[in-house]
Amino acid sequence: MASDVIQATLAPPKAGLPRFQAVLFRRLLFPLYCRCTSWDKAVAVFRAEGHKSLRAAQRLTPDAFRTRILIRPLWGLEDSSRYWSVEMILEHLIEVGARIATTIVELSHGEKPATDVTEVPPSGGRGLGLLQDYRAFLDDYADTLAEDVGDRRSELTHPHPWFGQLTVHRWVCLGAHHQAVHRRQLEAIVTDPHFRR
């Protein structure tokens, strides 16, 4: 019941970022990041951020892994996501990351994706076995982008609810950005003074 009360104080899922952040990210920060980030660098950032999250998560006890902590607001993180556990973060990264990879592959082959890449609220409950799933996901993502992608320069676009119409290159950059945001969220949880490992 306490969890429901805390969650009720936050903005609803899919409410998006606060207006100032949303405008700044969409019009300036994200386009600038994409201009300065190559395809290969974005994939490397995706994996590096993922392994940072994995190393931090591996040190936790089963109870700590599934303990939800309300963290301070973070740039780039929806308000509704501030009350998650490490388990929920990894579950979310797998689900959204897989959808991003599918979108990238389809766009690169000239196909309009049918995939919905809106934020996916995690349910939790999978336990420490999720660590192995996440490790495998990091390898699968890199392999998919190395082996299944067609034209990296395709100008075909697919919409993201926050950033608008994105080309295949911008979707790759979004994948890296998404990993970084949730790595910072995970670190905020495990460094919270009320968190017990």
Q: DSSP string covering 65-107, please?
A: HT--EEPPP-TT--GGGSEE-HHHHHHHHHHHHHHHHHHHHHH
CA angle 11, 14, 17 (to 5 degrees): 70
Per-residue model confidence as pLDDT tens digits over 140-161: 999 999 999 999 999 999 999 8
Percent of the chain exceeding pLDDT 90 equals 80
Distance (Å, whole) CA 18 – CA 12: 12
Q: Which is nearest to 84 in space by CA: 161, 180, 13, 160?
A: 13
Q: Do 156 and 170 form a contact (C-beta atoms < 8 A)?
A: no
Domain extent listing, the chain:
18-190
Q: Rounded distance, CA 158 to CA 114, Å?
A: 9
Start-to-end C-alpha separation, the chain: 23
Q: What share of the chain is helix, strand, coil (3-state, %, to 5)?
A: 60, 5, 35
In CATH, which of 1.20.120.450, 3.30.70.2190, 3.40.1380.10, 2.40.50.140 is domain 18-190? 1.20.120.450
pLDDT tens profile 89-146: 999 999 999 999 999 999 999 999 987 777 677 888 889 999 999 999 999 999 999 9
> What's the pTM value of the predicted model, to 2 decimals?
0.94
Only one residue has tokens 């990041």, namely: 33
Which 3 state secondary structure label does DSSP give 166? strand
Contact 22, 16 (CB under 8 A): yes
Rounded Cα–Cα distance for residues 82 and 185 (Å): 8
Average pLDDT for 19-25: 93
